[in-house]
Structure 1
Amino acid sequence: MRWPRPSERVVDALVVVIAAADMWINLEDDSPFALAVVALACSGLLLRRRFPLAVFLLTIPATVMQDIVFAPFASLFTLAERSRDRRLLGLCAVLFALASATPWPLDSLSQHERTWTVVYFFYMLATAVAPVLLGQLLQARRDLARRLVEIEEAREHERLLHSQAVLARERVQLAREMHDVVSHQVSLIAVQAGALQVAAKDPEFREGVRAIRSLSVDTLDELRHMVTLLRASGGRATELTPQPTLTDLQRLVSGSGIETELVGELPGQVSTTAQRAVYRTVQEALTNVRKHAPGARATVRLWHDASTFGVTVTNTPATRSSLPLPGAHQGLIGLGERAELLGGTFTAGPTADGGYEVRMSAPL
């Protein structure tokens, strides 16, 4: 069972009572002046928390006149608890020892008493070390408790930041997957439905494919908003697994709905992460060709030299007008991030003949 901690006022009152009792027991000079000095020193203990140095100095005259120790010890302890100036604490301990060893009245000092005065000085100096050490110990304990609280708060803040970073990475991963996989498939459905709508002769069939294309366009628009929101709240991220690699590249090219030629190859030491980046670059480039360059032909070229590897996707100009399809405008940004994570570069821009070229390179 823990006892309740007394209030500061109760402790201060108890200190004053003990100091007065100490004065009464060791009273040697009962002159009015000496009594007034001692009473002032004892009552000043009530202010030792606010003015520890001034209260300690107030007890020095009483220590010289009377053989008291509690009042100066209490004020010295409070000063040591609140002050970080160790030189000041040492000087106060010496001052207390000097005041305690000095005989009163001063003219009563004989040759024999001088020797005992010196001995008594060092004895009181050693005694004064106790309140100083206790006060410093209490101060260190309080600082340690405060530091532990700060460390715990910092750890809690670090855990919060870590959880936020994990959440942000997951959001970016989700956004990237939605854009690279889901948008890719839905945009292919929309393009194919648009082509069927143009070529269809049966009104009912044309209305059906028109509805499919309309739903696909609406889905792409919703995906655009979702991808934008997810990327806005996230950061750079690692890849999700499982993801396609170079072995799936031929199937991607064959199912793109575009006349595409795949040439070249990459060395075997290309990492799985780099293979995914190459795959996503080709996927995004072919998706953009379908959206913005209908009827164009594309060439996917894999290349490498002694220190770098990469992929270049080039398409010819469009042969017919493109259908208005919504986009998230995040594909090329994501490809640039993938290349940057590999320590490489990414460029995209129009060619001299009116086509478009996407190029990603990275060190082996």
Structure 2
Amino acid sequence: MLSLKQAVSWPKSMRLACAALLAVLGLALAWWAQLGGLLSRLQAAQAQENELRAAYGQAQARAGQLPQLRERRQAAAAELATLEQQLPRQQEMASLLSDINQAGLARGLQFELFKPGTPEPQAHYVAMPIAIRVRGGYHAIGAFAADLARLPRIVTMQAVILNGGKDGPPTLDAVLRAFRLPDAQEQAAMAKSKVKPSAGPLTAVPLSGFVPRDYAAGDLPDPFGAVAVHDAHTGGVAAPDLRRVREPLESVALSDMAMVGSVRQHGRLDALLQAGQRLHRIRTGQHLGHDHGVVTQIGEQALAYREVAQDANGVWRERRGSLALQVAGAGAKEKEK
């Protein structure tokens, strides 16, 4: 029987066979040790293959949607161009501020405060806050807010505070925000300061889904107690239609108008009124003045009108007056046709 202690005395062939057997066993152990690493690498490669296959499938699905994505990009570009058209340039802001003011005057509101603030540069536009305080009827204020939404430019209303007037109609305190495009200097300053996009009023609400609507609550009771019907005990009269679209001369005080002549056409006599630097041709039934004035009669030497205004108790009262011809030594201008 062979003994490892006597391995030196083994025949040479036996020793070589043992050495070969040991080498084979060593190689087998080494291969077994590496097999675990190879299996883990194989599993990782298979998982990566599955991920790549899934990514390839998603890429194929997105590639199939490429025509729709291109259409959506074109629609987004068109919508962006439309929104940019609603943003005036700096030189057009004076006209926008005038439109806001005229919107309030057209509703019979009196501006006690109209103060533009410091422009606020954002990522792609400049916001201008405007502090306002207006006094007028409750429904007129609501109609004014609806008119702002219908302006061709983007104007929003924030920080709204409505207070009931102790000695008259309620007052509205609010901050309007008008938006415009930045000029070249502002764009350079914004790029230098790296102004980041912010979720401002333009991005917080999807403007594409915004649809302005007319003020439709004029028939509801005034929560501030304005009298809307004739009251035999107080002598009040019916309230005017606060939803009516105001006429141009309703933004001008009667004290700033002057009758300078008259024109007769097709048998109808119209008055010529001077308001500022403009001459207006007025017929019976047209409105003028801040207090819902309406022309009741036109003569060659005078124009008669009727106004309706609220007193301190909120009761609508009627006033009548006239504008006499102001051209000294001149008769009425008449033209027969």
**TM-score calculated relative to the size of structure 1:** 0.28
Structure of greater relative contact order (alpha carbons < 8 Å, 6+ residues apart): 2
**TM-score calculated relative to the size of structure 2:** 0.30
